[in-house]
Amino acid sequence: MKKYIYLFVSNLLLFFIFPIIRLLNKSFYEKNILPKLINFTCNSRPIDYQRRKVIPDATGKVLEIGIGPGSNLKHYDNEKVSKIIGVDPSKELNTIAKKRADSKELDIEFLIESASNLSVDSESIDTVVSTYALCSIPEPNKTLQEIKRVLKKNGVFIFSEHGLSPDKSVSFIQNSTDFFYPKIAGGCHTNRNIKELLIENGFNLLEMNNIYLPGTQKFLGYNYWGKATV
């Protein structure tokens, strides 16, 4: 019963209430509702469970692209990480991330810029991290090329992303909602094939796992996580 109430309320918000508010006042929606929506969904239990599978493996100098509200910060291993550079163009989400960073004993620098045009030196990073960001970054191919540029030769790209489902009924919903869903969800495309993007951009996959995240709607919850090298 609880599951159906959750589905009803989330569909009402996603397909009705949020689109109407955004239609009426785009800047109000993007400044006041969207950052809270991202912070809320990114801190849900199934997503946090995924973070715990990947983030503790980050080592050395880390670059986190699309760091958003800083939800991964609590999962980094202080003993393994020497510095974190968090990149995100959203000032509103950066304010939330900075509050999270204050409570951590980690050397963290924030860059308010796009991951597709990084001001980070080439071959200077040990681990690049991306969680639920490749869906929202407007130029995923350019971003993956930037990740390759900044990673050291033996560096690792660690990711946990949602994207295109292999099931036709789910990918049909993902493809047919793509004309409006990114507008209410900060540019998030649910239909990006993360595995193909990585291969097309010349990454070597060390690990690639997939599941539907429990407790999430299938069109949002098809998850890819793993590690890749350049």
Q: Which residue number, 143 or 168, has a Cβ lying nearer to ligand SAM?
A: 143
Q: How far apart are CA 193 and CA 161, in angstroms?
A: 10
Binding map of ligand SAM across residues 55-74, x = CB under 6 A, - = no contact: ----------xxxx--xx--
Q: Which residue number, 11 or 117, has a Cβ lying nearer to ligand SAM?
A: 117
Q: Tokens 């690049």 label which residue?
A: 128
- Pick one of 54, 111, 114, 156: the residue that binds ligand SAM (CB under 6 A): 114
Pairing of strands 151-162, 108-111: unpaired
Sign of the torsion angle spanned by Cα atoms 140, 141, 142, 143? positive
**Does residue 136 touch ligand SAM according to CB under 6 A?**
yes
> Which residues are CB-neighbours of 154 under 8 A, at least 6 positions away?
229
Q: Which residue number, 154 or 197, has a Cβ lying nearer to ligand SAM?
A: 197
Residues in the chain, how many? 230
| Count of chain residues binding ligand SAM (CB under 6 A) | 25
**Does residue 137 touch ligand SAM according to CB under 6 A?**
yes
Q: Residue 219 is encoded by which pair of tokens?
A: 């069109």
**Does residue 134 touch ligand SAM according to CB under 6 A?**
no
Sign of the torsion angle spanned by Cα atoms 75, 81, 83, 87? negative
Q: SS3 for 61?
A: strand
Stretch that binds ligand SAM, among 12-20, 85-93, 99-107, 221-229 (CB under 6 A): 85-93
Q: Which residues bind ligand SAM (CB under 6 A)?
A: 38, 42, 65-68, 71-72, 87-90, 93, 114-116, 131-133, 136-138, 186-188
